[in-house]
A and B are shown apart, each in its own frame.
Chain A
Amino acid sequence: MSAAVYAEPYKLPAGALALAVHAAFFALLYFGISWRAEPPQGMVVDIWDSLPEMKNIPAKVTPPEEAQPEPLKPVEPPKPVETQKLAKPAQPAEPHKADIELAEKKKQKAKLDEIKKQMEQKKIIEAEKMRAAQAEQERIRTVQAEQERARAEQAAKAAAAIASEIGKYKELIRSKIRHNIVRPPDVPDNARAEFDVTLLPGGTVLNAKLNRQSGNEAYDAAVERAILKSQPLPLPPDVALFNKFRELHLKFCPEENSCK
């Protein structure tokens, strides 16, 4: 029996299979187990004694000021003044005509005067009526303006509340993401990455797109990872406000205060 008979014909395929088994094993070790040390969640505490500066409030407060419609007021006063002027020149006209000679004429004149007086009184009464009506109108108008102003103020207050809520949650989102950024070494302090983040209801990130590169790819990647890791992002409990959060434009800097 020659040794060749016992030569094992399967050495190569067996070796390849053995290598494949080990490759599979190490791939499992490498990819199957997450070896990263994760910081315990829920240990991050944000203390808010005052709201951080709110960029959005001024923009929201301005419209209510426009909404106060007061140009109507100045129109009212001139009218009553005019009517008084018309009424006054009519009164001094009577004594001049009483001096004239003839008694008959006097009588007639007196009659005419009386008629004129009556006419005059009627005019005055009418003018007074007019004045009263106008005053009434004016009063109604001022009340309406008052009501309108109150309504506008209320709307402004509500808008301000909403704006502060939005600003608060935007700041919460930013701070949550910032806590998750693992800052890579050698990132300059003035690096600024801007992201367009699309959210789903519930705070899930649908899409985080790098809008402006910081110049440091490692930092861009770190911020993107942090955004994805921060899911679900904090959203206001009021579902109606979600539309303000659907598209967010967020800026991140290594130093907290260098970009807001």
Chain B
Amino acid sequence: MNVTQDLSFLHLLENASVLVQLVMGLLLLVSLMSWWYIFIKMFAVRMAVKQSEEFEETFWNNPDLVKLYQSSNVASGNAGSMARIFAAGFAEFIKLKKKHGMENSAVMEGTSRAMRATYQREMDNLESHLSFLATVGSVSPYVGLFGTVWGIMNAFRGLSNVGQATLAHVAPGIAEALVATAMGLFAAIPAVVAYNRYAHDVGRLSSRFESFMEEFSNVLQRQS
């Protein structure tokens, strides 16, 4: 260990032991991925909220459900989660209606099953990657800590060869080890914040979808 070295950032990364470098590389990768998902989710959730609002507005302003179902946006499935739930439910309702001799309650049950299936799929899609953020948030500090502990262990081991121990002998080792913790925290903090934020947003969307499904079932029951 060279005592008089400059503590430049790149120097620290270069001089770290292999394991600490591995840890830091892993954390960098994890951090990149978590930020990637954070931005993907940000855009996705924002779009889902906007599309739901738009669809609800057109739905309540449009008494003619068939026309709404046939409108290009809804039919192609590009109008968002709520539109897709509506489309699945309405398609099932029409199919069941065409079969004669079906009881009304059976038609409604089939319709709500179809809607629930689509709802599950939509929720699964919205919630995807959230678990990754949660994992990163809870685990990466430990990974960083592991790297730090390892680095400090090495720093102190190097100290045993030196007769007179000064802070200058251990300082570079500790500094390079602490970089690992810093990176772990850098990966974890945004991941935790984003996870909480998006879990909350997705929960609100889910309750919104559920109440829409109930209301839509009521509308269909009235029409049947």
Given A14-B43, A18-B39, A25-B186, CB of A6 within 8 Å of CB of B32:
no
The 8 A CB mask of B112-126 against A (1 = contact, 0 = none) is: 000000100100010
Given the known interface contacts A8-B44, A37-B6, the answer about A17 and B39 at a Cβ–Cβ threshold of 8 Å is yes
Residues in B with CB closer than 8 Å to A33 are 9
User: What B residues does A87 contact at CB under 8 A?
Assistant: none
Evaluate contact between A35 and B6: CB separation under 8 angstroms. Answer: yes
1-32 of chain B: CB within 8 A of chain A: 4-12, 28, 31-32
Q: Is A48's CB within 8 Å of the partner chain B?
A: no
Residue in chain A with minimal CB distance to B33: A18
Q: Looking at chain A's contact residues, is the secondary structure mostly helix, strand, loop, or mixed?
A: helix
Q: In the bound complex, how far is the Cα of B140 from the Cα of A106, in angstroms?
A: 149
Complex Cα gap A9–B42 (Å)? 12
- Is A11 on the interface with B (CB-CB < 8 A)? yes
Number of interface residues of B (CB under 8 A): 31
Instruction: Say if the beta carbon of A75 comes within 8 Å of chain B.
Output: no
In the complex, A19 Cα to B121 Cα: how many Å? 30
Chain A residues within 8 Å of B88, by CB: 1
Name B6's closest neighbour in chain A (CB-CB): A36
B6 neighbours in A (Cβ, 8 Å): 35-37
Known: A21-B35, A29-B9. A11 touches B121 (CB 8 A): no
Are B77 and A1 neighbours in the complex by a CB distance under 8 Å? yes
Q: Which residues of chain A have C-beta atoms less than 8 A from B121's C-beta?
A: 1
B38 at the interface (CB under 8 A from A): yes
Q: From B12, which residue of chain A is reached at the shortest CB distance? A: A35
Most buried by A among B39, B77, B84: B39
Residues of B with C-beta under 8 A to A2: 77
Q: B40 contacts the other chain (Cβ, under 8 Å)?
A: yes
Q: Does A22 contact B (CB under 8 A)?
A: yes
The interface residues of chain A lying within 8 Å CB-to-CB of B186 are 25
Contacts A1-B84, A14-B39, A36-B7 known; 4 new A-B pairs at CB < 8 A: A8-B44, A22-B31, A22-B32, A29-B9
Interface residues of A (CB under 8 A from B): 1-2, 5-6, 8-11, 13-15, 17-19, 21-22, 25, 29-30, 33, 35-37
Please list the residues of chain B having a beta carbon within 8 angstroms of any beta carbon in chain A: 4-12, 28, 31-33, 35-40, 42-44, 77-78, 84, 88, 118, 121, 125, 182, 186
- Counting from the closest, the 7 A-B pairs by CB-CB distance are A14-B39, A18-B35, A10-B43, A35-B7, A18-B36, A14-B40, A17-B39
